[in-house]
Homo-oligomer: A and B are copies of this chain.
Amino acid sequence: MFRSFLTLSMGVALASASGQALASPDAEALHRTATAMFSPLPSYVAKEGNPKNDAKVELGKMLYFDPRLSQSGFISCNSCHNLATYGVDNLPTSLGHRWTAGPRNAPTVLNAALHTNQFWDGRAADVEEQAKGPVLNPIEMAIPGEDLAVDRIASMPEYVERFEAAFPNEEDPLNYDNIANAIGVFERTLTTPDRFDAFLEGDLNALNEQELAGLQVFINQGCVGCHAGPALGGQIEARFGVVESYWEATREYIGVDQSTMPMDVGKFAVTHKQDDLYVFKAPSLRNITRTYPYFHDGSVWDLRDATQIMARVQLGNDMSDEDLDALMAFYGALEGEIPAQALQLPILPASTSETERPTMR
């Protein structure tokens, strides 16, 4: 699956961009090529069955920042998907209940609603389904049951009212599904338009020469095979290590002996199919300069190293310094703007005598 898609994409790329000298790309031709592979970020990622309204967005934001959705009262969604640091925690793998390190790197929440599925192994259909996981996971937020999460929120009259306003046509709106629906709608507002969007929308001066050159490399070298669409990723699953072993490559580049780490079998753990061994979702490259450390195990901190590793193990390519320089410049143009409204910290309702008290053990 991965190889055939890649070949197809590269074919399109090479046909459209052929004849462009790397150092002086033709912005107009590159724009034509790029718009066939990418699309501008929408301001909102709608989902049928979970309509947006202002009350629901605000409620979702409150729940996103509320540490009472963790057993300890110390961890919120924002602890690991911190909006002050582009929706990640910048840790190799996240810390959860009782300081437990999780097995995989926390992907950014920004633009995540555009992914075809969620988690590194794609085991959740959308951000709503994803949101239900960590709250209950014993090594993340560790609430021991959906009902207990609902009871906590329902113990606060302000939340009860806000669920009624956010889900106006439902008889019993405060339930676990709707906790996830509200968080999901908030997350669907978290798209981060950047200069690459301006370029895609027709402003041919939005990217400078070096950034255009990087875009050209990105297309010509085949990166776009996995990192296409509005999020530059999030739509393809691929075996990590097509041409050579991922572990060997990271060992060489970062000097870490991966043999001391447990091997992550990827999607195989979910499907138990041989074809899914070491298969992971290709992440979005929007804001990639800010979402270090990289890969599902957070093993590589330097974006240039991570890019070279990807080129080698996925594409059988050694990137030149010139190509890497250009790619780094292009990545810089993918740093977007987080909606100001999302960054306005909500004031959370007071607990009541009915609210379960935090337990740290």
Residues of A within 8 A of B (CB): 65-67, 72-74, 79, 82-86, 89-91, 95, 98-99, 101, 289-290, 292, 301-302, 338, 340, 343-348, 350-351, 353, 357-358, 360
Chain A contact surface mostly:
loop
Instruction: List chain B residues, Cβ under 8 A from A74.
Output: 79, 89, 91, 95
Other-chain residue from B90, B99, B302, B344 in contact with A98 (beta carbon distance below 8 A):
B99
Instruction: List chain B residues, Cβ under 8 A from A91.
Output: 72-74, 358, 360
> With A and B bound together, what is the CA distance between A73 and B79 in angstroms?
11
Instruction: List chain B residues, Cβ under 8 A from A301.
Output: 353, 357
- The CB with the most chain B CB atoms within 10 A, among A72, A74, A340, is that of A74
Other-chain residue from B66, B73, B101 in contact with A360 (beta carbon distance below 8 A):
B101
Instruction: List chain B residues, Cβ under 8 A from A357.
Output: 301
Taking the closest CB of chain B, its distance from the CB of A151, in whole angstroms, is 17
Ranked nearest first, the 3 interchain pairs of A and B with the lowest CB-CB distance are A99-B99, A343-B345, A84-B345
Q: Could you tell me if B95 and A67 are in contact, using CB atoms closer than 8 angstroms?
A: no
> With A and B bound together, what is the CA distance between A340 and B346 in angstroms?
10
> With A and B bound together, what is the CA distance between A357 and B72 in angstroms?
26
Taking the closest CB of chain B, its distance from the CB of A32, in whole angstroms, is 32
Other-chain residue from B79, B101, B292, B350 in contact with A351 (beta carbon distance below 8 A):
B292
Which chain B residue has the least Cβ–Cβ distance from A82? B67
Taking the closest CB of chain B, its distance from the CB of A106, in whole angstroms, is 11
Q: Could you tell me if B65 and A89 are in contact, using CB atoms closer than 8 angstroms?
A: no
Which chain B residue has the least Cβ–Cβ distance from A345? B343
Q: Could you tell me if A346 and B84 are in contact, using CB atoms closer than 8 angstroms?
A: yes
Q: Can you identify 16 A-B contacts, CB atoms within 8 angstroms?
A: A65-B84, A67-B89, A73-B90, A73-B91, A74-B79, A84-B345, A85-B348, A90-B358, A91-B358, A91-B360, A98-B99, A292-B350, A302-B353, A340-B344, A343-B344, A343-B345
> With A and B bound together, what is the CA distance between A89 and B350 in angstroms?
12
Instruction: List chain B residues, Cβ under 8 A from A95.
Output: 72, 74, 360
> With A and B bound together, what is the CA distance between A358 and B301 in angstroms?
11
Taking the closest CB of chain B, its distance from the CB of A8, in whole angstroms, is 34
Taking the closest CB of chain B, its distance from the CB of A260, in whole angstroms, is 15
Given the interface pairs A67-B89, A74-B91, the reply to whether A289 lies near B350 with Cβ below 8 Å is yes
Taking the closest CB of chain B, its distance from the CB of A249, in whole angstroms, is 19
Taking the closest CB of chain B, its distance from the CB of A99, in whole angstroms, is 4
Instruction: List chain B residues, Cβ under 8 A from A358.
Output: 90-91
> With A and B bound together, what is the CA distance between A301 and B85 in angstroms?
33
Instruction: List chain B residues, Cβ under 8 A from A65.
Output: 84
> With A and B bound together, what is the CA distance between A206 and B340 in angstroms?
33
Taking the closest CB of chain B, its distance from the CB of A134, in whole angstroms, is 15
Q: Could you tell me if B343 and A99 are in contact, using CB atoms closer than 8 angstroms?
A: no
> With A and B bound together, what is the CA distance between A347 and B346 in angstroms?
16
Taking the closest CB of chain B, its distance from the CB of A346, in whole angstroms, is 6
